[in-house]
Amino acid sequence: MIATSDLSVFIGRLRIVRGVTFKAQPGEVTAIIGPNGSGKTTLLKALSGDAAYTGSAGIDGIEIASMKPWQAAGLRAVLPQSTSLSFPFTVREIVRLGLTGGSAGPGRSGDRVAEALARVDLEGFAGRFYQELSGGEQQRVQLARVLCQVWDPVVDGRPCWLFLDEPVSSLDIRHQLAVMDVARTYAESGGGVIAVLHDLNLTAMYADEVLVMRKGEMAAFGAPRSVLDDRLLEDVFECRLRVGALPAGGVPFVLPQSAG
Amino acid sequence: MEAPRAARSGIAARRVSGADGDRTALARMVITLLGLLLAATFLLSLASGASDASVLTVARDMVSGVAGDGALSARDRIIVYDIRLPRAVLGVLIGAALAVSGAVMQGLFRNPLADPGLVGVSAGAGLGAISIIVLGTGVLGPVVTTLGIYALPLAAFGGGLATTILLYKVATRRGQTSVATMLLAGIALGAMAGAFSGVLVFVADDAQLRDLTFWGLGSLAGATWLKVAAAGPIIVAALIASPFLARSLNGLALGEATAHHLGIPVQRMKSIAIVTVAGAIGAAVAVSGGIGFVGIVVPHLLRLLIGPDNRFLLPASALLGASLLLLADAVARVIVAPAELPIGIVTAFFGAPFFLWILLRKRGVLDL
C-alpha cells in the first residue's frame, strides 16, 4: 500500500502540492486527474523520490525519502512523460536497461525484452533505433522498459508499483486502450498502478480510485462513479462539464468504452 | 499467455543476427580485435625507429625473457627496453586515459561533443602542472618535496578536478546539461586557465622555460620509467574505476531522473565520474602535455561501430585510444626522422577534420 499523510512539495519557495493525504491499494489502478499545473506530476515525483517533500509518504510503511535508489527501484518503476536520448541506442538496448535495475532476476533477458515489447504492441521493433521512432512508439518503448524493471507484479508477497505519468498522451486510440489494458492487467495480477491521466473517459473506464488535484490540493478522492460529477468537474476544470450528456444532434462522438 | 508466446517464437525464427538490436556479440568481437590491434601496434612501436630491430626479433626476445639469451643485440636491448618500452607503455596508458575520459565525460554530460580537451579540463590540468614546474622551486617547494614525483600529476589532477566541477556546476541546471553553455563555459574556463598559465610562464626563469617547452609540446618523447611510475598508478586506478561506471552511464543516457528510477545513485556516481576523468586527464597532461582529439574521435568511432552501451564502449575506447596514440607516436617519430614531431600536432591533424565532420553530420541536430 502507498500511503501519504499531509504531503507537501516545495519547489523553491513555492508550494506546488499541499497537504495531500491518500492511500493507493495494490490490485487497483489509481488515477490522478486535474487541470494543467495542478500538481499531478509533482505529486508523482514525490512518490518516485525525485522531489523532496514534507509530511510523509511511504510504500508498505517504508518512508520513500529514506529509501536507497536501488531499494526503491525494486519496488516501483516510473514512466516519465517523455524521454529524450543523446546517443543512438536500439530499442532492445533501451528496454534492457529496465532489467539492470529493479526486481528482475538474472537470465532470460532476451525473452523478457521480447515479451515486454509484445505487450506494448511493438513486436519486431527491437532492432530499430529509438531516435528514429515516432513519439507514440517511443512512449511505448519506455513503457516496455518500465515493465521489465518490475516484471512480476508481486515479489516475495510484496506488491510492486507502476507510476505512469500521462502514459497515453501521445498514443492513438487503439494503443491508448492497449496501454491502459497493460496497467489494468498489472493491477489485476496483484501489483499497484498510479497513473496521471488527462482523459476523463479512460479514467472512468480503467481507474478504481480517482484522485482529483486542484491548485496543488486534493479536491476529491474516491471511485470514478462518485468523483466524476458535474459540480466537481466544473469546479476543478473551470469550465462547464456535464457527465453523461450526449452532444447536440448530429455531432459524432466516439468513446473509448465503445471499443470491442 | 499463449498468444504472445507463440508470437515471440515466430519472431525468434525470423530473427536475423544483428537485426534484433542486440549488439553484444558484435561488441565482444570488436573488443577482441582491438586487443589484437593493440598488441600489434605495441610491438610495432617497440620495433620502429632508427635502430633496425625487427618486429619479429623484438617479439622473440620478449618471449624468451629479459634475462635469457634473447634475439636482440646488447645495444638494441637497451634501446628497446630502456627507451622504447617505457615510451610505448606510457603511450598505452595515456591513449587509454584520454579515450576513456572522453567517453565517460560524454556519458556524464549526455553529449557526444564533451571532450576534456575542448571544454577546458586539459587546460585546467595544464595550469596545475605549470604551477608545479614554475613555483616548485619557490612557494610550492614544500609540496614538491613532500609528494616527490607525484607532485606534477597530482597538481594536474587538482587543476583538472577543479575545472570539471566548475564546468559541471555552470553547465548543468536541474539535471539538464546545456550543450551551448557547456562548450562556451569550457572555452571561458580554458581561457582563464590559459591566462593564469601565461602569467606563470611570464615569471618563469630560463631553466623552467625549457622544462615548460618540453612539457607543453604534447609529446611522448622523454618517456622514462620514472614518468610511467608517476602517472601510471593514477591512470590505472581511473581505468579500473571506469567499468563500474558503465551501467550508471547507460542509465544516465535516459536522463538523471530516469537513472534514479532505475536504482542508480546518481549523485555519487557523478562524483566518481568527475574524479575519474580529472584523475586520468591530470595524470596524462602531467607527463605528456595536451594531446587533443583522442577523447572525442575514439568514442565517436566506436559508437558508430558497436553502439553507445558503455559496458562495451569504455573498454573498447581504452584499447582503441591506446592503439591510436601508439600509431600517432610512430608517425610523429618517422615522418620527420631523425627529428620528431610533437604528437599533439599529429593527433590534431587527424582529429580536427574528424571533429568538423561530426559537426557537419550533426548540423541541425545539435541544439547550438
- pLDDT of the residue at B6: 38
Considering just the CA atoms, what is the radius of gyration of chain A in Å?
A: 18
* pTM (predicted TM-score): 0.86
Mean pLDDT across the stretch A56-75? 94
Lowest mean pLDDT among A18-22, A79-83, A178-182: A79-83
Confidence of residue B1 (pLDDT cuts 50, 70, 90): very low
Instruction: Pick B51 or B322 by higher pLDDT.
Output: B322
- pLDDT value at residue B71: 67
Q: Is this complex scored with an ipTM above 0.90?
A: yes
Average per-residue pLDDT for chain B: 82
**Domain interval for residue B108:** 25-360
CATH number at residue B114: 1.10.3470.10
A106 versus B297: the higher-pLDDT residue is: B297
Cell for A68?
536507497
pLDDT at B231 over 90: no
pLDDT at A182: 96
Contact residues, A window 58-97, toward B, CB-based 8 Å cutoff: 68-74, 76-78, 80, 83-94, 97
Q: Does pLDDT of B142 surpass 70?
A: yes
Strands A161-165 and A192-196: parallel
Q: Say if strands A2-11 and A53-59 run parallel, antiparallel, or are unpaired.
A: antiparallel
Contact criterion met (CB < 8 Å) for B253 and A114: no
* Confidence category of residue A84, pLDDT binned at 50, 70, 90: confident
Query: A72 to chain B: which residues are within 8 Å by CB?
Result: 261, 263
Q: What is the per-residue pLDDT for A6?
A: 95
CA B208/CA B189 separation, integer angstroms: 25
- CB count in 10 Å sphere of residue A72: 25
Among the partner-chain residues B8, B111, B254, the one whose CB lies closest to the CB of A83 is B254
B8 domain residue, yes or no: no
Output DSSP code: residue A30.
E
List C-alpha distances in Å: A40 to A27, A56, B45, B53, B94: 21, 17, 62, 73, 50
Q: Tell me: domain A2-242, CATH 3.30.420.130, correct? A: no
The number of angstroms, rounded, from the C-alpha of A177 to the middle of its chain's C-alpha atoms is: 14
Number of folded domains that form chain B: 1
What pLDDT was estimated at residue B368?
A: 39
Residues of chain A numbered 143-202 and touching chain B (CB < 8 Å) = 149
In chain B, positions 239-268, which contact chain A (CB-CB < 8 Å)? 247, 250-251, 253-255, 257-258, 260-266
Q: Does A119 touch chain B (CB under 8 A)?
A: yes
A110 and B8: CB-CB below 8 Å?
no
Q: Which of A245-249, B60-64, B248-252 has the lowest mean pLDDT?
A: B60-64
Encode pLDDT of B116-140 as tens digits. Answer: 887 888 889 889 988 888 887 777 7
Please report residues of A whose CB lies closer than 8 A to that of B111: 86
Cα separation, B279 vs B283, in Å, equals: 6
What are B289-298's pLDDT values in tens digits? 878 889 989 9
Cell numbers at A15, concatenated: 508550494
- Helices B85-109/B310-334 angle, 10° precision: 140
Are B307 and A86 in contact (CB < 8 Å)? no
| Average of per-residue pLDDT across A99-120 | 75
Cβ–Cβ contact B176 with A under 8 A: no
pLDDT tens, position by position, B86-121? 999 999 999 999 999 999 999 988 888 888 887 888
Does B39 reside within a domain? yes
The domain segmentation of chain A, as residue ranges, is 2-242
